[in-house]
């Protein structure tokens, strides 16, 4: 029998989904049929939570219900906060997030239940804001702060993180970033969550599995790496020289460029660029990084466009996070803060509608049967 191994599970269809559609040739991304541009322009993250979990954009009453659950669910068990604040400030932010969700898994251990799964998911999303904000606060040596109820999840999160009321522009940009990173079908982290959910492990543990996969530099870390390049370049005058030496002669990969699925511009990159530009117009430091990024984008597209390698979502997102006041070490956690909705929507879709234990096979290529030798004879 001939068996083919799909390295990296490439082209393996692991489930059907009504959540996210990607057309990598034409650069199209839709959540439940709605174009990503329309969602960023006209919807809020709370509306997206309803769309992803319940299948439809909410009416006023449904939206108020989602907001109500969020506003009531920011509290986390005291052990979560005390553990985050007892960890050394040098700890990795995603590692701290895994720890926090591990504590929630130990305390709650909820069972799957079709009548409560979705509401629990909304509660978990609220708690993710609390965890993320307090990881920043602990690492910065600040005091714990639980997000306060507000009209917007983005606003509650930013206010708790930085301890001050965010501007409307900051809220809008945070909201857009939450929407942009919400879901992307079944990348490594979502697949890890699905594998855990297929054993009927609880939702919190599934998030730990997803975070573990997200943490690696080949997945969640690219926004930080892309921004590091702009810091290293330092000024737009150095961009061409840096590109020539590092990327052309040095043959390094241009971070924030290229994608397994998109063979053209990632539609999210264009939206993040617009957001970055609007911050750059008001802030000289942001402007510096924006100008560097724009020049590198031009050089990157001129060099790699013929190989279908274009900016991905992480190319400009770091500049937006920087403009919002986040240090680089938080970029992957901000990705997780948003993606938790995608993870939850996928595992609920899987467990409720198409559940089966995920248990692939490995093709044995080791030695044939051998005689056991006692240790003295080896
Ligand atoms: N810079 C330079 N060359 C690149 C880049 C890049 N960013 N990306 C791909 N290539 C080249 C490779 O060198 C290779 O060239 P070759 O055929 O001459 O050897 C070719 O394109 C194919 O590369 P693969 O790694 O096989 O393509 P894959 O589809 O696996 O790559 C990936 C996707 C991993 C994202 C890659 O483009 C990359 O490393 N990009 C930089 C990191 C990054 O930005 N990651 C974020 C992805 S988006 C996200 O996760 C949210």
* Strand order, beta sheet including 20-23: 20-23, 28-31, 34-35
Q: How far is CA 89 from the centre of its chain?
A: 22
Q: What is the pLDDT of residue 112?
A: 97
Name the residue of 229, 248, 258, 265 whose CB sits within 8 Å of the most ligand 1 atoms, as the mutation to test its pocket.
Answer: 258
Is 183 assigned a catalytic role?
Answer: no
CA nearest neighbour of 327 among 101, 124, 141? 141
For the chain (378 residues), the mean pLDDT of every run of 10, in chain order, is 84 95 97 98 98 98 98 98 98 98 96 97 98 98 98 97 97 98 96 98 98 90 93 97 97 93 95 98 97 98 97 96 97 97 98 97 96 96
Is 259 assigned a catalytic role?
Answer: yes
Ligand 1, pocket residues at CB < 6 Å: 219, 222, 253-260, 304, 307, 309, 312-314
Q: What is the pLDDT of residue 63?
A: 98
Q: Could you please state the CATH topology (level 3) that the domain comprising 222-324 is classified under.
A: Cytochrome p450-Terp; domain 2 (1.10.230)
- Which CATH superfamily does the domain covering 15-219+328-353 fall into? Citrate Synthase, domain 1 (1.10.580.10)
Q: How far apart are CA 28 and CA 39, in angstroms?
A: 13
The pTM assigned to this predicted structure is 0.95
Domain ranges of the chain: 15-219+328-353, 222-324
Provide the 8-state DSSP code for 310: -
Which residue has tokens 């879709």?
349
Interior angle at CA 104, CA 86 and CA 95, nearest 5: 50
CA nearest neighbour of 122 among 43, 49, 231, 210? 49
What phi and psi, each to the nearest 5 degrees, are found at residue 311? -60, 135
Ligand 1: residue whose CA is nearest its atom 27? 260
Q: What is the pLDDT of residue 1?
A: 59
What is the Å distance from ligand 1's center to 255 Cα?
Answer: 8
Q: What is the pLDDT of residue 378?
A: 93
């Amino acid at each position: 029998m001939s068996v083919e191994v799909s390295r990296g599970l490439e082209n393996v269809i692991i489930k059907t989904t009504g959540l996210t559609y990607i057309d990598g040739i034409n650069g199209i991304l839709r959540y439940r049929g709605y174009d990503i541009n329309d969602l960023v322009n006209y919807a809020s993250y709370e509306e997206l939570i309803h769309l992803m979990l319940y299948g439809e954009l909410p009416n006023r009453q449904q939206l108020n219900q989602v907001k109500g659950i969020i506003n009531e669910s920011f509290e986390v068990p005291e052990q979560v906060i005390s553990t985050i604040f007892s960890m050394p400030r040098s700890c990795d932010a995603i590692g701290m997030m895994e720890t926090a969700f591990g504590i929630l898994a130990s305390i709650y251990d909820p069972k799957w239940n079709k009548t409560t799964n979705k509401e629990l998911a909304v509660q978990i999303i609220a708690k993710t804001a609390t965890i993320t904000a307090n990881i920043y606060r602990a690492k910065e040596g600040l005091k714990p702060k639980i997000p306060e109820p507000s009209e917007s999840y983005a606003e509650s999160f930013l206010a708790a993180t930085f301890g001050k009321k965010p501007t409307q522009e900051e809220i809008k940009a945070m909201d857009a970033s939450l929407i942009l990173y919400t879901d992307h079908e079944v990348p490594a982290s979502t697949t890890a969550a699905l594998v855990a959910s297929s054993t009927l492990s609880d939702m919190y543990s599934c998030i730990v599995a997803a975070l573990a996969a997200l943490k690696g530099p080949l997945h969640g870390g690219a926004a930080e790496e892309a921004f590091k390049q702009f810091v290293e370049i330092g000024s737009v005058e150095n961009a061409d020289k840096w590109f020539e030496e590092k990327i052309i002669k040095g043959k390094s990969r241009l971070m924030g460029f290229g994608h397994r699925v998109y063979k053209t511009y990632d539609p999210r990159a264009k939206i993040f660029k617009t957001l970055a530009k609007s911050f750059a117009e008001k802030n000289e430091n942001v402007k510096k990084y924006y100008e560097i990024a724009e020049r590198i984008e031009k050089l990157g597209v001129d060099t790699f466009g013929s190989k279908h390698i274009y900016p991905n979502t992480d190319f400009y997102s770091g500049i937006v996070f920087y403009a919002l006041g986040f240090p680089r070490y938080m970029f992957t956690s901000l990705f997780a803060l948003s993606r938790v909705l995608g993870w939850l929507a996928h595992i609920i879709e899987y467990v409720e509608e198409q559940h089966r234990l995920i248990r692939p096979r490995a093709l044995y290529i080791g030695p044939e049967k051998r005689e056991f030798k006692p240790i003295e004879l080896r």
